[in-house]
Amino acid sequence: GESVGLHLPTLSVQEGDNSIINCAYSNSASDYFIWYKQESGKGPQFIIDIRSNMDKRQGQRVTVLLNKTVKHLSLQIAATQPGDSAVYFCAERTTDSWGKFQFGAGTQVVVTP
């Protein structure tokens, strides 16, 4: 079936370095993508989103890249800080999925001093 997945379950990053979190999706009809951050004991927090008519979108210290040719989504975090330690989920939906997001498996990001 269609699925959204991540390549790396855990990513260890040194403080100050840039982080790249990857996500693969298999549904070519997916047209909207979101990255969420979930800290321990909290719910998923919206970080950034991107629509399929875009290749790149930037926020504060974060950039999302979408490569529709290879069905790949990535989240780049600049100058990673200890507060960035969390689990990151990608999520995607199609126009006709009506409220249903397909979540990836998640990547644990650990920021080391």
Question: Which residues of this chain interact with another protein, rule CB under 8 A?
Answer: 31-32, 34, 36, 41-46, 49, 51, 89, 93, 98-101, 103-106
Rank residues 80 and 107 by Cβ distance to another protein and give the closer one.
Answer: 107
The least CB distance from residue 67 to another protein, in Å, is 19
Helix (H) or strand (E) holding 86: strand 86-94
Q: Is the separation of the CB atoms in 16 and 79 below 8 Å?
A: yes
Distance from CA of residue 53 to its chain's centroid? 17
The least CB distance from residue 4 to another protein, in Å, is 9
Report the DSSP pairing between strands 56-58 and 45-51: unpaired
Rank residues 3 and 18 by Cβ distance to another protein and give the closer one.
Answer: 3
The least CB distance from residue 16 to another protein, in Å, is 27
Q: CA-CA distances (angstroms) from residue 76 to 24, 26, 40?
A: 15, 21, 21
Rank residues 49 and 71 by Cβ distance to another protein and give the closer one.
Answer: 49
